[in-house]
Chain A
């Protein structure tokens, strides 16, 4: 009898807790509306929505409190997967966002040139860059004495060396080379193809204080950091063959940079610590030490509340609803806002290892007859607008163009997107011949073959949600989509699989999100030479459009806008990928952190070296 009583007590206790939560829940049930009331972001064009969302959060924070000496800054980087840990020579080898974040701390991937608020070459940095359109040259001049962490002086000879590593035939990372306008430097292709010892277009003078870069074509996008401007230490890497660099000690375990913090310790895949660089060129940082740690996206917001971190590299917009009024931290509008977009990519070609280029793959599954209508219908089926409105409350919204909001000046807003319309999507498929259906109601290809799209989806807290979201939308138009190998995958595994293009490559679509750089030239991610171009799509027409962008003639504003308009129309018509979302990126900042800026163009007046910590430990919520 005692046992029964105990059992009943336990159950009753459980129900009581549930009932208690219910009363509490009643107020929470309104939470959804509250967020919308707090933010009050109107549903309109995504550009307006981004502007409205940005207006709700400050872009900087400072106070009068003094810095507490000897304090440690705790920085959390959100990731569901292990950190690949490329920490040295980041300007060439970095891949993941995590690598790039850390590169800024150590100065292993920091540009010598400061940017303006328009994200073009500006004044105030270690060096300046002066473009000369008529001479087709970019002149980089060094103004400040800078030293690497090991005490060696940094000169433009390091940058000169960096170009030679970047363009080296044995450099496995072709992505960075294809970004921006690097490939337009005079003589760089001869060097890359092994016909020349040196890049003839690079001229060092003035005791390594001036680097003149000659271009074959001098496009206007160069001023948006169109060439690599973050040097790697030549004295360290000179003796390492280029093909082994990415796995060498200075890249993986003992990086040398020139940034505000000096590398101290690394826990592979998980964490890193760095200490103050007293000789930092813009002044020694206030912060004594910085600890960087990978945190699961699921735990990050609560870790912020618990005072485990002073800041995170990003904050999931999903978490905002549950942490609307934090007591121990505040939100800033993150610098990533307007850079990030989500996308669905169709795998339409192959990577050719001999030429390091994307090749069209007419035989690929998604390219079968009717494939284009299928892709368009798949873009129209998901109701991004409604879903994002109720899930993110205006902080994430459907993408409004094929370019990221940062490149708003180049947008042609007359290019249509793919509005949610099930009827139109179904009609499109019917007209394209996807008329027969199998027993479960899924469509077949026009030639009668069974239609099944294989989808590589990354694992993570949101994986199940998006799996349900997309499969439901695509089931509504009769398109069967199955997960690759029937399950979600580790991010690193998907990247490897996509990169190596094995013969058994069965993946047809891939969903992801990334942040673009300052340069509006899409060659770096969607171009024929981009290995990040997971669609693997290219065509003579596409290459012709991109080639027009790489000409001096594009300085003509009207012509430039026409090119970007063509780029967007081409993406719309050929739909090798479609953007799904734009995001406002929140940056959480513990209340003890002062003097933080997220506006572009504020470096070097503001940066890691000016951040103060006004308490010994992070405040707890």
Chain B
């Protein structure tokens, strides 16, 4: 009774493959990810983070291809660690946020009626709270000491409402389809219908949604860290590296300290967005070009 997912994904892949921008984006993104994680794995983080007084603020040279920061640390190694932290946090926030969204969205969409009505009010109310303000407030109240503490705050405030809405709408539509009624008649438990029969039909929407949310979360982390509200001291992130550009003279005279991380953030977000848009388009049969 399921949609034949193999051919569905096949069609999706065919669509994505036709989009050269998305392919370039995908290759670049995977390339950067591999570089960051593989290199990061072999990198001695404590050594890379160590200050070197004699090499502070060095311009790019053979020894330091992208120069050094104000603590004399190699910018390339620093960017690898920073990008890994930023990617980690973006992935974590996206996945956990999506999980909450899936759970709530499915329940609301599947049961509909009063359950949907009540939960919708709550989710709507939550969605109205200005997120950035809440993050800043929580951040100063809780002073999270770890990377994970910070990400939980962001998740709690932001991560899940959009995803909940998307899943709910799709689940509402699926819930009215014949296969769900048939399964119910056969006596399949609701939880099984929800997760084994409805959910697989939402995977494509989920993937495109999560990809776009990932780009958003990346931007969020960068922005907050740039403002000094991001990761705890001593934890480099792309936004944190960018924050040296707050000083005008540093921005003008030491571009190697902020331009590479800025470009990296820019490229990463563009890639994720291109891929996400392609998935989004290909997941919807009406938007496909073939």
Contacts and interface: CB of A to CB of B under 8 A. Distances in A.
B168 to A, nearest CB: 33
* A interface: dominant SS: helix
Nearest to A6: B21
B11 to A, nearest CB: 23
B25 to A, nearest CB: 9
Interface residues of B, number: 42
Contact of B234 (A1, A10, A32, A471): A471
A472 B67 contact: no
B145 A3 contact: no
A463 B240 CA distance: 13
A457 B255 CA distance: 28
Interface in A4-52: 4, 7, 10-11, 14-15, 17-18, 21-22, 24-26, 28-29, 31-32
A486 B51 contact: no
Contacts of B254: 25, 28
Chain A interface extent, by class: 35 or more
Contacts of B246: 298, 461
Interface in B260-275: 260, 262-263, 266-267, 270
Given A25-B256, A387-B53, A487 B60 contact: no
B61 A302 contact: no
Contact of A465 (B50, B71, B228): B71
Contacts of A386: 53-54
A4 B233 contact: no
Majority SS at the chain B contact face? loop
Interface string B120-149: 000000000000000000000001111000
Contact of B24 (A4, A298, A319, A487): A4
B253 interface: yes
A295 to B, nearest CB: 12
B193 interface: no
A459 B228 contact: yes
**Most chain A beta-carbon contacts within 10 A, residue among B50, B247, B255, B256:** B247
A63 interface: no
Interface in B63-78: 67, 70-72
Nearest to B20: A4
B220 interface: no
* Shortest beta-carbon contacts, A-B, top 3: A486-B145, A25-B59, A29-B59
Interface of A: 1, 3-4, 7, 10-11, 14-15, 17-18, 21-22, 24-26, 28-29, 31-32, 298-299, 301-302, 305, 319, 321-323, 383, 386-387, 389-391, 457, 459, 461, 463-465, 467-469, 471-472, 482-483, 485-488
18 contacts: A4-B20, A14-B259, A14-B263, A18-B259, A18-B263, A21-B259, A29-B67, A31-B57, A31-B253, A32-B56, A299-B247, A302-B248, A322-B253, A386-B53, A387-B51, A387-B53, A468-B49, A469-B71
Given A29-B67, A31-B253, A487-B232, 11 more contacts: A14-B263, A17-B255, A18-B255, A25-B67, A305-B249, A321-B57, A391-B56, A465-B71, A467-B233, A468-B234, A486-B144
